[in-house]
Structure 1
Amino acid sequence: MVRIKVGIIGCGSIAKHRHIPEYAMNENVEIVAFCDIIAARAHAFADQYNAKAYVDYNELLENEEIDAVSVCTPNSLHAPVSIAALKAGKHVLCEKPMATSSEEAEAMIAAAEENGKKLMIGHNQRFVPSHAKARSIIESGELGKIYSFRTAFGHSGPENWSADGEHSWFFDKEQAFIGAMGDLGVHKTDLLRYLIGEEFVEAAAFVETSAKQNSTVDDNAVCILKSESGIIGTLAASWSYNGGEDNSTVFYAEKGIMRLEDDPDYSLIIDYKNGNSERHSLGTIQSNEEGQQTDTHVVEHFINSIVEDKTPPVCGNEGKKSLEVILAALESSAGKQIVRI
């Protein structure tokens, strides 16, 4: 059996609730190192998993026994840490958004190629059962031509999720670069690209900071996106859905309407124009809410890409394309105009 030795860089909530438990469940993985600028966090996980603790990621990267790392740092560090890791000969699973600019994303992709290492971005929405089935339905032509969509990802904010609560780096533009659009919206751009099998070519958006006090990043955004073939729709990303989480997507098509994660009992619903309907209960989508911490399958795909020496399903190029939609939306809001992607 292949054993991939993994280090975790950044020991906050995304590492605690997603990366670490999913690595621990993977029979091909041994977690050997943890790093965090708050030493107590790194040491707590190191003690739990009989691993080494670091406060400087450069020292962790000097550990030659480490094959791969997860980069779970604030957004502004995603590119520099990932590039350093790739140059140190480590495979990299980087949290989203992968970078703060197209140039940073390109540098990450180049570092992976130049050093012959895997780079995967932690977009998990592709692996949700309802979304995987929806892609096959769209590809089959069962719905006919897709005309439009609406998608949303919103919850009450990272203070209820982050290890640092109200003082989280999520609210600091210098560390986060981007708010709800990078935390939630970029997941949906990746999902939409995956589902329709097309790239977006234009974006228009309103992006606001209105819900969170002492925040320097966006917390509410509504975007209009247009694809290559002319599919148009809206994407909402918000940290102000205070009554509960919304992670739904709806497609309006020639032969009917398909609803994903829009019903508490059925994760995929199709209402056809001819009066027929389908209801599918395919399991729950990942959520930040208590008791909803299901396997995202991100780590599984990352490790499989290393073991089987294949391109990760959300490689650097895919992460860059999803990021660029969000960057265009920010540019649109700032310039009050439609932006070509």
Structure 2
Amino acid sequence: MSKLKVAVIGCGSIAKHRHLPEYAQNKQVEIVAVCDIVEERVNEFATKYDAIAYTSYEELLANQDIDIVSVCTPNYLHASISVAALKAGKHVLCEKPMATSKEEAEEMIREAEAAGKKLMIAHNQRFVPAHQKARELIEKGELGKLYSFRSAFGHGGPERWSVDGKDSWFFRKEEAFIGAMGDLGVHKTDLLRYILGEEFVEVGAFVETSSKKNADVDDSAVCVLKTENGIIGTLAASWSYVAKEDNSTIIYGEKATLRLLDDPINSLVIQYIDGAVVKYELGGIQTNDIGGQSSSQVIDKFVHAIIQNEESPVSGSEGLKSLQVVLSALESNETKRIVTI
């Protein structure tokens, strides 16, 4: 079988450290095109991956040889470029958050269906071994009835990670739409939905800009969430955890407490009601430290779904459900009310 031909639109850090190297490692695809409005940047990647350089995504999408497009642009362009790519007959892997509104996300989903193409949202936390094991244990009833949870995703901010440092688009509302809650919080809304196996129905939130002087988007958010069966808990997303990244989740049930990525060695720890403790060394999670970016599994799972014609591993409708929790959190902060999702 001939290799699927891949294009990456947006050559910032997520493309550099995840999409491009992971496509390069996958033997079933070939990187044929890269696109960025910064000519120097796109030329560098074109040379590295022996690909055609584009500064216009419209010109790239006119290339009929391309089968797959990764959308790695600033958030405000995710939906419009994804829709254009789907209309051009390409499968689309879009970075999170998938869109800046429910309407945009719904348009992406409609276009994928109309084109008969796969749309995947890059929520990699579902594929972390500890998180997959947690879902399995919860499904099996190992924790009994679930009562509560707390989850956090925080680090020192995009300036440590983005190619543009302190001048990054992440800090500008017109390009990012949302700050830490969209960058990190949406990962956790997706993860919690996945692990708990339930949808959220209510959210209350405080969303603030406190640590970043150069930002007009949030850098710290804390949400209280409630699922359809009454599991309640908190989600924190922050760019102000300056000492060390926190990516932990704790689930409290009637039979046990489950701790995820809360211990540097044991990525999953179960503490039972009778005092027994079971520890799993399942490996860590990709971090925002350079070198912690390999094998998110997102690319491999997307390519596999296309070749086998299976359902997208994180479909557009799944991405929308995770986005809606974030949109509702913003609404809660603005209205100072609990919002029904």
The answer to whether structure 1 residue 258 and structure 2 residue 290 are counterparts is no
The answer to whether structure 1 residue 60 and structure 2 residue 75 are counterparts is no
Residue type of the alignment partner of 2:87: K
Structure 1 CA distance for aligned equivalents of residues 11 and 289 of structure 2 = 19
- Report the identity percentage: 65
Secondary structure of the equivalent of 1:213? coil
Q: Is the 8 A contact 1:270 1:277 kept in 2?
A: yes
Residue type of the alignment partner of 1:100: T
Offset from partner CA, 1:24-67 (integer Å, 9 cap, x none) = 00010100000000011111111111110000000000000000
What's the offset of the Cα at 1:224? 0.2
Structure 2 CA distance for aligned equivalents of residues 110 and 175 of structure 1 = 24
Residue type of the alignment partner of 1:10: G
Counterparts of 1:227-266 in structure 2, within 5 Å, are 227-266=227-266
**2:289 corresponding residue in structure 1:** 289
Q: Is the 8 A contact 1:181 1:218 kept in 2?
A: yes
**1:134 corresponding residue in structure 2:** 134
Residue type of the alignment partner of 2:98: M
The answer to whether structure 1 residue 189 and structure 2 residue 189 are counterparts is yes
Aligned pairs, how many? 341
**1:147 corresponding residue in structure 2:** 147
What's the offset of the Cα at 1:2? 4.2
Structure 2 CA distance for aligned equivalents of residues 289 and 138 of structure 1 = 31
| Ranges in structure 1 where 5+ consecutive residues have no aligned partner | none
What's the offset of the Cα at 1:325? 0.2
**2:102 corresponding residue in structure 1:** 102
Residue type of the alignment partner of 1:283: G
Secondary structure of the equivalent of 1:151? strand
Structure 2 CA distance for aligned equivalents of residues 291 and 262 of structure 1 = 21
**2:27 corresponding residue in structure 1:** 27
Structure 2 CA distance for aligned equivalents of residues 138 and 235 of structure 1 = 19
The answer to whether structure 1 residue 177 and structure 2 residue 180 are counterparts is no
Q: TM-score, normalised by structure 2?
A: 0.99
What's the offset of the Cα at 1:294? 2.9
Secondary structure of the equivalent of 1:27? coil
Q: TM-score, normalised by structure 1?
A: 0.99
Q: Is the 8 A contact 1:211 1:240 kept in 2?
A: yes
**2:273 corresponding residue in structure 1:** 273
Offset from partner CA, 1:311-334 (integer Å, 9 cap, x none) = 111000000000000000000000
Q: Is the 8 A contact 1:2 1:307 kept in 2?
A: no
Q: Is the 8 A contact 1:147 1:253 kept in 2?
A: yes
What's the offset of the Cα at 1:284? 1.2
Offset from partner CA, 1:94-113 (integer Å, 9 cap, x none) = 00000000000000000000
Secondary structure of the equivalent of 1:104? helix
The answer to whether structure 1 residue 305 and structure 2 residue 297 are counterparts is no
Secondary structure of the equivalent of 2:32? strand
**1:115 corresponding residue in structure 2:** 115
Q: Is the 8 A contact 2:21 2:294 kept in 1?
A: no
The answer to whether structure 1 residue 9 and structure 2 residue 47 are counterparts is no
Structure 1 CA distance for aligned equivalents of residues 103 and 299 of structure 2 = 26
Offset from partner CA, 1:198-218 (integer Å, 9 cap, x none) = 100000000001110121100
Q: Is the 8 A contact 2:86 2:92 kept in 1?
A: yes
Structure 2 CA distance for aligned equivalents of residues 36 and 208 of structure 1 = 31
What's the offset of the Cα at 1:290? 3.3
Residue type of the alignment partner of 2:301: H
Secondary structure of the equivalent of 2:45? helix
What's the offset of the Cα at 1:148? 0.1
**1:48 corresponding residue in structure 2:** 48
Residue type of the alignment partner of 1:277: V
Q: Is the 8 A contact 2:71 2:94 kept in 1?
A: yes
What's the offset of the Cα at 1:165? 0.3
Secondary structure of the equivalent of 1:135? helix
Offset from partner CA, 1:1-25 (integer Å, 9 cap, x none) = 3411000000000000000000000
| Ranges in structure 2 where 5+ consecutive residues have no aligned partner | none
What's the offset of the Cα at 1:293? 2.1
Structure 2 CA distance for aligned equivalents of residues 111 and 170 of structure 1 = 27
**1:18 corresponding residue in structure 2:** 18
Secondary structure of the equivalent of 1:182? helix
Secondary structure of the equivalent of 1:195? helix
Residue type of the alignment partner of 1:185: G
Q: Is the 8 A contact 2:8 2:34 kept in 1?
A: yes
Structure 1 CA distance for aligned equivalents of residues 265 and 291 of structure 2 = 17
